Amino acid sequence: MKFIKFLLLGIVFGIVMTKSEAVSWYRIQEMFRFQAFHMYGIIGTAVTLGVAGVALIKRFRMRDYHGNPIMFNPKEKSVVRYLIGGSIFGLGWALSGACPGPMIVNIGYGYWAMAIVFFFAIVGTYLYGLIKNKLPH
């Protein structure tokens, strides 16, 4: 039962991503071609509210429902891994028109072909785990 709240949040996520068309390959193409405000509006609104909310959480040292302070772990400092890793991600994002969340939502929507994309995303993650130590970070 302690997981039901995460199930509900996942359902809301799936519905919102579908209804905002953020799961559509067309919308991702439109975004990378800078031909509409739509995707930038979604991400921009979320980040604007996110920045304000995170600042408030830190300012008032808010706690989660367990009573623990809400912590934000700074990501490790680097440029190479974020730039190269991010670029590889971007290549895949623009080709398949979906990042990992939307892939899953698409499968629920009935686009079974996305299961192939998601399966190979797992394979890609595994490949990274295999050669991680040989890559510049």
Partner 1 sequence: MEFILQPWSWWFSGIMIAAIMFFLLYFGQSFGFSSNLRTICAAAGLGKSAKFFDFNWKAQIWNLVFLVGAILGGFIAREFLSTDAPVLISEATIQDLSKLGIAAPESLQPAELFGLDAVLSIKGFLLLAFGGLMVGFGSRYAGGCTSGHAISGLSDLQVPSLIAVMGFFIGGLLMTYLFLPLIF
Judged by CB, which is closer to partner 1: 61, or 130? 130
Report, in Å, the least distance between residue 59 CB and partner 1.
13
Distances (CA, A) of 58 to 43, 49, 55, 91: 22, 14, 5, 35
**Touching partner 1, residues 117-136 (CB under 8 A):** 117-130, 132, 135
Instruction: Determine the size of the site formed for partner 1 (CB under 8 A).
Output: 110
The closest of 83, 123, 72 to 100, measured between CA atoms, is 123
Window 82-111: residues binding partner 1 (CB under 8 A): 82-101, 103-111
Closer residue to partner 1, CB minimum distance, 59 or 110: 110
CB 118 within 8 A of CB 109: no
CB of 11 to partner 1, least distance (A): 4
Query: Helix H segments across 25-99?
Result: 25-32, 38-59, 80-96
CB of residue 34 vs partner 1: minimum separation in angstroms? 9
Closest approach, Cβ 128 to partner 1, in A, equals 4
Q: Is the dihedral of CA 22, 43, 101, 33 positive or negative?
A: positive
Half-sphere exposure of residue 75: CA atoms within 13 angstroms, side-chain side: 5
DSSP assignment letter at 97: S
Q: Which is nearer to partner 1, 19 or 61 (CB)?
A: 19
Q: What residues numbered 27-86 form the site for partner 1, per CB under 8 A?
A: 27-33, 35-39, 41-51, 53-54, 57, 64-66, 68, 70, 72, 74-79, 81-86
